[in-house]
Chains A and B, each alone.
Chain A
Amino acid sequence: MNFYAIRAIYLFEMARTWRTLLQSIVSPVISTSLYFVVFGAAIGSRISEINGISYGAFIVPGLVMLSLLTQSISNASFGIYFPKFVGTIYELLSAPVSYLEIVIAYVGAAASKSIILGVIILATAALFVPLQVQHPVWMLLFLVLTAVTFSLFGFIIGIWARSFEQLQLVPLLIVTPLTFLGGSFYSIDMLPPFWRTVSLFNPVVYLVSGFRWSFFGVSDVNVGISLGMTLVFLAACLAAVWWIFRTGWRIKV
């Protein structure tokens, strides 16, 4: 195992975060705070409690997930796309590093950034609403699993993308709608039966539901199913990454 290489890539990627602090950390925190002001205070005050939880507190896990998903994808996809774009990927390909080491370093850095961000958003949320975490270990597990899974997904997008437009395409057209329709701001029990069934095909529902359960002990779907679905998506991403490196798809000719 080339630990020096993993460390070098990881620190290099993390250094980019500190260099672009405004974009990486401050910007998501500000937008999350705005969600709290709009949905929590302005609109939320007119919405009755959901499952005995105030609306302001109810949306916290969803908001953290929203940031976690989008930031994991964005961090990881940009991290691997940028060397492809500027040509510095030659160094990665000519270095004595295995594909596993490359993935550990890039995905590890992207997931770390997202987890840090998730924690900061939670701390910000605590300023707006009283928060309780009933199952902190599960909360941490969902936080890490989601960050890693969607960083892997972002890594795949970064390798697939051939332009900055494509890099934005999947997060914008697929992930954001799935997140908004995944129960971040409501319980899927509030939907008509048909749309509730449709929602069950949305993987984000399971992430939000599981994460929310770790806070309040109530969920739209069983926590075991949530964990299972997250692991299935993780496995699918791992399989895709393994295939990409085995074939050199869009990396090597």
Chain B
Amino acid sequence: MIVMQPIISVSNLSKTYASGFSALKNINLDIRRGEIFALLGPNGAGKTTLISVICGIVNPTSGTVLADGHDIVRDYRAARTLIGLVPQELTTDAFETVWATVSFSRGLFGKPANPAHIEKILKDLSLWDKKDNKIITLSGGMKRRVMIAKALSHEPQILFLDEPTAGVDVELRRDMWEVVRLLRETGVTIILTTHYIEEAEQMADRVGVISHGEIILVEEKAELMRKLGRKQLTLQLQQPLEQVPPALSSHGLELSEDGNELIYTYDTQGERTGITALLKDLNDAGIRFRDLQTKQSSLEEIFVNLVSERR
């Protein structure tokens, strides 16, 4: 079996600021070629610092980062040529036109002018009709698209999106997800940080969770959902109960406050879910229900549980 070299390899990376604050503590992380990797974590967890070190904006205190085998410090030119960054803040040259600022970025990253490529990016991002507009005249969502266009102008293989849809309305957010998916189809590796867990749930192949400067988990999204996700079966009763009957106590049921619902939580990983036995015992106890539904934990709930467990 051929083991593909990771496109980004972070080894023993630490960052301690002059104030003594440790933003990153011995981070080890591999990003696979062509994947969408979501980095989740609460505010101040170290997400942006990690991205900033990889992109060359912040100096690491110790450790190494390789981008497609190129050391980001010793071989910074080759490493940075591969990387595009869309930062969290909407920092743009307000008085430049969209076309000028995107073309500038391409030149800055060492690529000769290619109007056809810039045109394609602007069209893909629905910016073509704004190409001659000054950035100051654009809406927040459009500015965000300009930032993405700038990051893509030099045809990077790796794209960092730091909170790409912060402050963007729902419709635009879904458009952006589509853009990210299209990029992945062209072979671009995407690393995104987000507060919108739905975003990671919708798009990511793998999820990493960072908390207090440490990577506490890296997992396939589906596997993470399967491993840590719990399912709940909610039974809506025909007659309300005052308490869970003793005959059903072994199932660990919860009764809703109004007594109209019985909630059964089970492990999706378990060999047996216990649902068959529960339904049989309910029948034996003469408890009838008029409807039932199951609910899978969202990535958000998993994430909240993970982070709170570490506190």
Do A and B pair up? The answer is yes
Interface of A is mostly: helix
CB-CB under 8 A from A12, the residues of chain B are: 96, 100, 104
Q: Are A19 and B95 touching (Cβ within 8 A)?
A: yes
Of A3-11, A37-45, A138-146, A156-164, the segment with at least 4 beta carbons within 8 Å of chain B is: A3-11
CB-CB under 8 A from B106, the residues of chain A are: 8
Of A72-80, A93-101, A208-216, the segment with at least 4 beta carbons within 8 Å of chain B is: A93-101
The number of A-B residue pairs with CB atoms under 8 Å apart is 77
- Counting CB contacts under 8 A, is B107 at the interface? yes
Q: Are A90 and B57 touching (Cβ within 8 A)?
A: yes
CB-CB under 8 A from B83, the residues of chain A are: 94
Q: Are B108 and A87 touching (Cβ within 8 A)?
A: no
- Counting CB contacts under 8 A, is B246 at the interface? no
- Counting CB contacts under 8 A, is A26 at the interface? no
- Counting CB contacts under 8 A, is A252 at the interface? yes
Least distance between B100 CB and chain A CB atoms (Å)? 7
Q: Are B77 and A96 touching (Cβ within 8 A)?
A: yes
Interface residues of A in 63-99 (CB under 8 A from B): 86-88, 90-98
Known interface pairs A8-B104, A91-B150, A253-B18; A96-B109 also in contact (CB < 8 Å): yes
Least distance between A171 CB and chain B CB atoms (Å)? 23
Q: Are B110 and A5 touching (Cβ within 8 A)?
A: yes
Q: Are A86 and B93 touching (Cβ within 8 A)?
A: yes
CB-CB under 8 A from A225, the residues of chain B are: none
Chain A interface residue number, banded: 20 to 34
One of B59, B95, B104 near A252 (C-beta < 8 A)? B59
- Counting CB contacts under 8 A, is A15 at the interface? yes
B162 (CB) vs chain A CBs: closest residue: A90
- Counting CB contacts under 8 A, is A177 at the interface? no
Interface residues of B in 36-58 (CB under 8 A from A): 55-58
- Counting CB contacts under 8 A, is A48 at the interface? no
One of A4, A19, A87 near B91 (C-beta < 8 A)? A87
Q: How far is the CA of A133 from the CA of B238 in the complex (A)?
A: 106
Least distance between A190 CB and chain B CB atoms (Å)? 46
CB-CB under 8 A from B112, the residues of chain A are: 4
Q: Are A94 and B85 touching (Cβ within 8 A)?
A: yes
A2 (CB) vs chain B CBs: closest residue: B110
Q: Are A93 and B56 touching (Cβ within 8 A)?
A: yes
- Counting CB contacts under 8 A, is A192 at the interface? no
Least distance between B83 CB and chain A CB atoms (Å)? 7
Least distance between A193 CB and chain B CB atoms (Å)? 50
Q: Are B77 and A94 touching (Cβ within 8 A)?
A: no
CB-CB under 8 A from B85, the residues of chain A are: 90-91, 94
Extra pairs beyond A15-B100, A95-B108 (7, CB < 8 Å): A2-B77, A5-B110, A7-B107, A86-B91, A86-B93, A88-B91, A91-B85
**What are 16 A-B contacts defined by CB distance under 8 Å?**
A5-B107, A8-B103, A8-B104, A8-B107, A8-B108, A15-B100, A19-B95, A90-B85, A91-B150, A92-B108, A94-B57, A96-B76, A98-B77, A248-B59, A252-B57, A253-B58
The 4 closest A-B pairs by CB, nearest first: A8-B107, A87-B91, A96-B80, A96-B77
